[in-house]
Amino acid sequence: MTASRTHTVIDSPIGELTLVNTDGMLSGLYMSDHQPAPDATTFGPQTSEGFDEAVGQLREYFDGTRTTFTFPIAPVGTEFQRTVWTALRAIEYGTTSTYGEVAASIGRPTAVRAVAAANARNPLSIIVPCHRVIGSGGRLTGYAGGVERKQFLLEQEARIAHAPTPS
């Protein structure tokens, strides 16, 4: 049976985001100029139906009131990629990790390049926070939406995570 796919496009502080829904679960989140570019012909028809929860939580994230996402996701990838993507979701909001640290966290400390490749193929940018992975020495390395977007997301998260809590 063929999966039912639809998509919607929303505005955000980092530009338009395309969200893809497969059988009721978010399976893709892509930025304009996303590299590698996804095959938009596979997104299905455009509609706003079925995206309320994801759109609402993304708005809260960009407003600084949400630090985790709780809606169902269905990223498609190899077993290794899905393992890496699960590890990315464990990186706390407002913090970063290196490719080597992610590789070590999945029990594959020598698989740094494979982790980087899986990171680059993440179909759910922001939701699966690949932007929180940086190069050794703190360098901001490649990001599917561009290093400027990665820097924006990291700076926003750091500002919110380290803001004083009201007493």
Active site residues: 130
Establish whether the linkage from the previous residue to 36 is cis, with ω within 30° of 0: yes
- The C-alpha atoms of residue 133 and residue 105 are separated, in whole angstroms, by 13
- The C-alpha atoms of residue 147 and residue 49 are separated, in whole angstroms, by 31
For the chain, helix, strand, coil in percent to 5 are: 40, 15, 45
Q: What are phi and psi of 57, to 5 degrees?
A: -70, -35
